[in-house]
Structure 1
Amino acid sequence: MKRWLFPLMVSLQVLYLVGMAGAYYAIDLFGETIDLKTAPVDPRDLFYGDYVVVNYEISTISNENWVGDEPQYNDKVYVKLRKDGEVYEAQAVSHQALPTEKDEVLITGQYKGGNGDELRIRYGIERFYVEENTGEALEGNESERVAEVAVAPWGQKKIVSLRNP
């Protein structure tokens, strides 16, 4: 009886790891790609190398766009984005998933406080790793950049690229 238990446990662990990796790559296949305005800064990580900290315009949202009860620090929130020209802009924020229509996307984030008039949201995609010694080129250009972000139907998201508008 114990002989089949060990291979079963190892198989389940391998299946879990393959599923996690597959879910990341499935974003490209099943996710919708959206463009967001950014303002990058260039720090360096000792272990991961160069990366760009990406601050999105949708990271600061007007308090008027909040739907529902008062948010608490670190609460999970849903942000409804609507396409406005070439980029997506925040339309509403709530504790619950909001219905979307054509040219709208729902993205999850964490409420990080506010100053009374604005809500601060963190999306978990604020770092974009770049090839070594290329981060300074992104920092040197003062113009705003556009981040191409893939958002999967199950809520996972990742930055695909950074480019000039």
Structure 2
Amino acid sequence: MSLPNALRSPFLRWGLVALIQLALIAVPLADRLQVQMSGQEVVLNLRPVDPRDLLRGDYVILNLEIGRVPVSLQMQGEIFGEGDTVFAGLEITDDGSAKVVRLTRTRKDAGPLAIKGTDTGFSDGRVTVDYGIDAFYLPEGEGKEIERLPAKRVQVVVAIHPDGRALPLRLLVDGKTFKSDEVF
């Protein structure tokens, strides 16, 4: 079987290869943009740690307070296992940060504001949940500055899409933007 004349051209073949590569790059960016543009912004408390990534520079590990959820917040009758998808229903507190008020298996049961995560284990009466937003990248040298701050002074603003996907937008120190990771 022979190729049509149009596909025999090396320019067309290389052009198709380039389009496929661009599509592979664009898909994650489009997902990130969708969460940022249509997600609700929520402030989360965290405890930062400053490691380094040789390729990307400094970053702050986002050790979210909402990452350890008391078992008492699980919907009655629901039992989660390691690797299960869970939804943490959030409520905004008086200080403006979010806290978990329920943990469910479905987005619908979680309430109007919910973040999607994965159950990664259970200990000390708490379910550990990974929300997939565990690092915030900073320019070289700025990670050390964050590491020296008391944990209570550092927060992260995330965008939460209605389906539960989340994306870190800004790192806050004392309620003021320290670094922004927003696309627009």
TM-score (norm 1): 0.85
Tell me, in whole angstroms, the C-alpha distance in 1 between the residues paired with 2:21 and 2:144.
40
Cα deviation, 1:6-44, whole Å, max 9, x if unaligned, reads: 97x765775464343222122222111100111101001
Counterparts of 1:58 and 1:20 in 2: how far apart (Å)?
A: 25
Residue correspondences, number:
162
In the alignment, does 2:111 pair up with 1:100? yes
Larger radius of gyration between Structure 1 and Structure 2: 2
| Offset, 1:154 | 3.5
**Alpha-carbon distance in 2 for matches of 1:65, 1:157:** 21
Q: 2:98 aligns with which of 88, 95, 101?
A: 88
What do the CA deviations read for 1:50-91 (whole angstroms, capped 9, x no partner)? 100111110111110011432111111111111112011001
| Cα distance between partner residues in 2 of 1:13 and 1:141 | 41
Structure 2 regions of 5+ residues with no counterpart? 176-184
Amino acid at match of 1:89: K
- Whether the 8 Å CA contact 1:114–1:120 is kept in 2: the answer is yes
For the aligned residues, what is the CA RMSD? Answer: 2.4
Match of 1:95, as an amino acid? R
Corresponding residue for 1:70? 79
Q: Which has the higher contact order (CA 8 A, sep 6+)?
A: 1
The alpha-carbon deviation at position 116 of structure 1 amounts to: 4.6
Aligned residue for 1:149?
158
Aligned sequence identity (%): 24
Residues 99 and 139 from structure 1, CA distance in 2 versus in 1: closer, same or farther, beyond 3 angstroms?
closer
Distance 1:142 1:159, change over 3 A: same
CA–CA distance in structure 2, aligned partners of residues 60 and 32 of structure 1: 22
SS at match of 2:136: strand
Greater mean deviation of Cα atoms: 56-65 or 14-23: 14-23
* 1:53 is the counterpart of 2:61: yes
- For the Cα contact (< 8 Å) 2:60–2:138, is it kept in 1? yes
Query: Structure 1 unaligned runs (5+)?
Result: none
Rounded Cα–Cα distance in structure 2 between residues aligned with 1:115 and 1:29: 36
